[in-house]
Amino acid sequence: MSIRVTSWLESLQAHGYRLTEARRAVVEVVATSKRALSPLEVYEIARRRYPALGLVSVYRTLEMLSALHLVQRVHQEDGCNAYLPSLEGHQHLLICERCRRVEYFDGDDLEALFARVGEQTGFEIRSHWLQLFGLCQACKQAVS
């Protein structure tokens, strides 16, 4: 059992949620995924372990995990309904346009840019998204 699965289940419990088979199945799928999954994809995969699972429970569990900042929604040109484990703290995503595999990175240094843009526009800047798109190593070879 992945450490992340255990830790998510403990988090749910610590926030007063009960541990049920439906939640366990959803958590196991999402917490161990290396790619962004839509609710329907989560449903189809999780049902292999727990066939009685309902799609509604996938939505409800994703909403909880989202409120606890354990998952985040990923936006792409071709859809904005995929979810991914959130790492600790602020980080950015690099997404494979072909297979949806995701890598995390940080180390952007945009403070100077924010200051300049804030000054020029009069905006108070509160947050930002920086997301890269491309092809992962496997898909790069598959395509060429």
Give the total residue count for the chain.
144
Interface with a second copy (CB under 8 A), residue total: 35
For residue 113, state whether it binds a second copy (rule: CB under 8 A).
yes
Judged by DSSP in three states, 64 sits in helix
Torsional sign, CA 108, 113, 118, 123: negative
Q: Does 51 bind a second copy (CB under 8 A)?
A: no
Among 32, 49, 56, 110, binds DNA (CB under 7 A): 56
- CB-CB contact of 74 with 113 (8 Å): no
Q: Which is nearer to Zn ion, 16 or 127 (CB)?
A: 127
| Cα separation, 75 vs 138, whole angstroms | 22
55 binds Zn ion (CB under 5 A): no
As measured in angstroms, the least distance from the Cβ of 78 to Zn ion is: 10
Indicate whether 115 belongs to the interface with a second copy (CB under 8 A): no
136 binds Zn ion (CB under 5 A): yes
Residue 105 engages a second copy in binding (rule: CB under 8 A): yes
Going by C-alpha positions, the residue among 51, 54, 143, 129 that lies closest to residue 94 is 129
Residue 103 lies near a second copy (rule: CB under 8 A): yes
User: What number of other Cβ atoms are within 10 A of residue 121's Cβ?
Assistant: 9
Radius of gyration of the chain (CA): 18
Answer for which of 104, 108, 116, 132 binds Mn ion (CB under 5 A) is 108
Binding site for a second copy (CB under 8 A): 75, 80, 94, 96-97, 103, 105, 107-110, 113-114, 116-118, 120-137, 140
